[in-house]
Amino acid sequence: MHLVTRSQWGARPSRYELVYIAGTSGVKVHYEGTPVPASLAEPASHSKCDDRMRALQASHLANTKEDYSDIAYNFVVCPHGYVYEGRGLHKKTAANGNQPLNKAHYAVCAMLGSEGLTKPTDAQLAGLRDAIDYLRSKGGAGNDIKGHRDGYPTECPGGPLYAWVQKGAPRPDANTSPQPSAKPKVSLAHIVYAAKHDPAAAQGHTSHKAEVLLVEKALKAEGLLSAQWVDGSFGSKTVTAYARWQRSPAGGGFTGDDADGIPGMTSLKLLAARHGFTVTD
């Protein structure tokens, strides 16, 4: 199983303490139920799956009617076969429809929708089996494998995925190892050059714009940089935001000259791990 932990995908803290459960009767399988771009299944799109997890969590936390404590699912599986930790092991889900149903089964969701990407990939089915088996071995889940619609009036998890559930959720025969992540790369040397040259240059000057944008988007997601400064220029606003990242516990907790806003390998790799890119020299 290729597990992506909450810290790796950049989860926000739970709003309330999650309810502990020793075990369940099994697992219920879900889909998102809203349109999911078909392009998400492309190998090069895996870098977007972390973003989708953060968006799913944000949408659940913003749902004032349901008043979710966190993302509703225990685990979410992307089209590339990676298993994303949601609420995780031994935590009561909020996805099955009501309190008795939530206590009875864990919830595992596939990044599939009602439009666009509607049919699971083989890698995704393998990842779903990985998540189910993990919940059985580590989370006290029983043998049930059901769809969300079993016991609750909903179309979830959609026709193609529910057909797989009804077959007993078999593991695909083909080689379904998680596809290699095609995460974009950021050169530390390029980012350091931009951080040292862009602030003093003419307004709007950019160095290595595509790579700088990745770093700026990550800083914005961390709440450290205003959207208006996500422009591909590692200007003074970005330097200040990056210094705040360096001083934060998640960014390494640096002090003094080590938190001057000029990226170093450690802090940049920590940022990359949370926001879907990799770092080279």
For residue 157, cis peptide bond before it (omega within 30 degrees of 0): yes
- Helical axes 265-275 vs 209-221, angle rounded to 10°: 70
* Angle ∠(36,8,56) on CA atoms, nearest 5: 30
Helix 236-247 to helix 209-221 angle (10° resolution) is: 50
**36 contacts 112 by C-beta, under 8 angstroms:** yes
User: What's at 54, amino acid-wise?
Assistant: R
Structure confidence by residue, pLDDT tens digits, 123-152: 999 999 999 999 999 999 999 999 999 989
Q: What is the pLDDT of residues 4-15, one digit of tens each?
A: 999 889 899 999
Does position 121 have pLDDT exceeding 80, yes or no?
Answer: yes
Residue 20 has which token pair? 């502990």
| Residue 192 CB contacts under 8 Å (≥ 6 apart), including other chains | 262, 263
pTM: 0.66
Q: Which residues contact 225 (CB under 8 A, 6 or more apart)?
A: 216, 219, 237, 238, 241
169-212: pLDDT as tens digits: 999 975 555 554 567 889 999 999 999 988 876 556 777 888 99
Those residues whose C-beta lies under 8 Å from the C-beta of residue 5, and which sit 6 or more positions away, are: 85
Q: Give the phi and the psi of residue 197 in degrees, each rounded to 5.
A: -105, -35
Structure tokens at 5: 């932990």
Distance (Å, rounded) from C-alpha 95 to C-alpha 101? Answer: 9
Q: Using CA atoms in the order 192, 194, 196, 202, what is the torsion angle rounded to 10 degrees? A: 180
Domains contained in the chain, CATH given? 3-166 (3.40.80.10), 185-280 (no CATH)
Distance from C-alpha of 167 to C-alpha of 176, rounded to nearest angstrom: 18
Position with higher pLDDT, 111 vs 227: 111
pLDDT at site 174: 55
- For residues 46 and 59, the model is more confident at 59
Average pLDDT over residues 17-22: 96
C-alpha distance from residue 9 to each of 49, 93, 97, 226, 271 (Å): 9, 19, 26, 21, 10
Cα 208 vs. chain centroid, distance in angstroms?
A: 26
| Amino acid 198: pLDDT | 85
**Cα 88 from chain centroid (whole Å):** 13
Note whether 89 and 1 are within 8 A (CB).
no
pLDDT at 186: 92
Q: What is the pLDDT of residues 81-118, one digit of tens each?
A: 999 999 999 999 999 999 999 999 999 999 999 999 99
Q: 47 pLDDT exceeds 90?
A: no
Q: What token pair was written down for 27?
A: 């697992």
Identify the H or E element spanning 214. helix 209-221
Q: What letter represents residue 5's amino acid?
A: T
